[in-house]
Amino acid sequence: MTALVWWDGDWHEKDPRVLGPLDHAFWMASVAFDGARAFEDTVPDLDRHCARLIHSARGLLLQPTMDAEAITELCREGVRRFPRGAALYIRPMFFATRGFVVPEADSTRFALAIHELPMPEMTGMTVCFSGFRRPPRDAAPTDTKASCLYPNMQRALADAMARGFQNCVTFDPCGNVAELATANLWIVRDGVAMTPVCNGTFLNGITRQRVIELLRADGVPVEETTLTRRDVMEADEIFSTGNYGKVLPVTRIEDRDLQIGPVCRRARELYWDFARSQPVG
């Protein structure tokens, strides 16, 4: 078994067809989702991910049909159906089926997909700067995790990969550093961990929030601040936080090579220690 989908009250090992061309989500992108992880028999911050899904659904004018606690327990149930220790991606979602432009809130449906996805190795990624930007708050639902926000980051990532890089640094509408195409961005300078201050153009990632808490509790100074292209290019360390790989180092920015630094290693170690306190149950 490589995947499970919960849909319409039951678990399915084959991918069920849940949308048609007349459904609102199919043509108007009324889809809110979240991504969590299971690995090494842990499900770190699963409750936070499910709570954010509720917030995202309401931000897209949807009416959640389950509360965060029920979704969390359903996710745990699904994870327990896989072999112990499996590395999984957990994706609960809400979407609308009716409406013309504006979704009809009472047409909201729920689905949950859980599938195998190996955790990436801590070998380091290569990144470049992107010409694609994050949208301002008044141009997109930037305070939600919504499918409609991803096409521009898909273009950014495809462009970076075509240039021989694995990811890219994107900017906000004012030209300041926002995040990577797929994760929150960190730099380290003189022992201080820095990450772009959340200004409403990108999500305050759940793994980002957790790493801020863990580093500060460990005595590492953390600053949420405005960062520029120059700050990134001159950083002692660069790393990312996100659900896919949790804490991953950047070992090349444009034409500059970097080593995996002590703050990144410590952040990853602290996160894994925290994850072990969050068993599947």
Query: On the CB side of 179, how many CA atoms lie within 13 Å of its CA?
Result: 20
Both structure tokens of 69: 């606690």
**What's the pTM?**
0.96
Nearest to 279 by CA among 37, 35, 46, 43: 43
- Model confidence at 12, pLDDT cuts 50, 70, 90, reads very high
What confidence score (pLDDT) does residue 195 get?
98
Alpha carbon distance 43, 203 (integer Å): 21
Residue-by-residue DSSP string for 158-175: HHHHHTT-SEEEEE-TTS
Determine the average pLDDT of the residues in 207-228: 98
What confidence score (pLDDT) does residue 271 get?
98
What confidence score (pLDDT) does residue 273 get?
98
Is pLDDT above 80 for 204? yes
Alpha carbon distance 31, 273 (integer Å): 33
Residues 169/126, Cβ–Cβ less than 8 Å: no
What confidence score (pLDDT) does residue 126 get?
98
Alpha carbon distance 29, 180 (integer Å): 23
Letter string b/e over residues 63-88, b meaning 16 or more CB atoms within 10 A of that residue's CB: ebebebeebbebbbebbeebeeebeb
Alpha carbon distance 28, 56 (integer Å): 16
Alpha carbon distance 220, 214 (integer Å): 9
Alpha carbon distance 103, 146 (integer Å): 14
How confident is the prediction for the chain on average, in pLDDT? 97
What domains are defined for the chain?
A: 3-116 (3.30.470.10), 125-275 (3.20.10.10)
- Model confidence at 258, pLDDT cuts 50, 70, 90, reads very high
For residue 83, the 8-state DSSP code is: P
The structure tokens 């009809």 sit at 104
Is pLDDT above 80 for 1? no
Residue 71, SS3? Answer: helix
